[in-house]
């Protein structure tokens, strides 16, 4: 199946990819959240979005919809940071290093990498897809498919297991401006600090920034 560029697409979560946009993506291991938590978070987001669309002034809807999705992401990420359910394979140096190598391999080929951080059961990455052809950018769906397919195959070999490694769905959203980019960068790199794993963001071996 060819994963072509589209300005918007949807599976279980809302997605958008304007041409040339910088994107913030969170991806996680399969089984890293209980189904009950996922269902609760998705239902809550759907209720919030429906309420905004039905009651908010049309002029304010884009901002309110964005804020609702941002809150939903915050709840999702807090659940992942607890690392209380499912595998934590990314805490193994060999597996984390494999994912890091793959992230850097795609830098300059399919995207311009800004920063990333790998936690025990999920990762955050910020990048700008490159132009594949005139006016056509590499699709985020294709980028994440490439990254996940290779790392899943190699990680399963090293772990001596078979089966799904990554959750198919990723959470992503467009970075709207420089101020938000700086906020997201800090959020990504401070993740292990906020989780109580290290004292300084520079102490984490599984993060990287382009600056």
5-15, pLDDT tens digit by residue? Answer: 344 334 444 45
Which are the contacts of 20, defined by CB distance < 8 A and separation ≥ 6? 128, 129, 137
Longest dimension (CA), the chain: 55
Residue 177's alpha-carbon distances to 20, 21, 50, 66, in angstroms, are 13, 10, 26, 14
Residue 111 three-state SS: strand
Lowest mean pLDDT among 10-14, 47-51, 141-145: 10-14
Q: Could you report the per-residue pLDDT of 73-132, keeping only the tens digit for each?
A: 899 999 999 998 999 999 999 999 999 999 999 999 999 999 999 999 999 999 999 999
pTM greater than 0.95: no
Q: Which residues contact 211 (CB under 8 A, 6 or more apart)?
A: none
What pLDDT score does 133 carry? 82
CA distance 71 to 74: 5
């Amino acid at each position: 199946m060819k994963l072509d560029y589209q300005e918007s697409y949807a599976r279980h979560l809302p997605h958008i990819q304007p041409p040339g946009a910088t994107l913030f993506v969170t991806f996680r291991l399969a089984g890293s959240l209980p189904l009950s938590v996922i269902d609760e978070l998705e239902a809550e987001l759907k209720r919030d979005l429906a309420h905004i669309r039905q009651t908010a002034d049309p002029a304010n809807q884009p901002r309110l919809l964005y804020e609702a999705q941002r809150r939903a992401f915050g709840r999702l990420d807090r659940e992942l940071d607890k690392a209380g359910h499912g595998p934590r394979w990314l805490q193994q140096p060999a597996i984390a290093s494999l994912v890091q190598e793959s992230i850097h391999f795609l830098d300059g080929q399919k995207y311009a990498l800004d920063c990333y951080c790998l936690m025990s059961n999920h990762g955050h990455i910020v990048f700008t897809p490159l132009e594949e052809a005139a006016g056509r950018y590499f699709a985020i769906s294709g980028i994440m498919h490439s990254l996940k397919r290779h790392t899943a195959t190699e990680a399963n070999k090293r772990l001596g297991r078979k089966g799904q490694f990554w959750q198919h769905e990723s959470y992503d959203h467009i970075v709207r401006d420089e101020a938000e980019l700086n906020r997201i960068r800090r959020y990504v790199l401070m993740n292990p600090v906020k989780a109580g794993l290290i004292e300084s963001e520079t102490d984490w071996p599984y993060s990287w920034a382009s600056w």
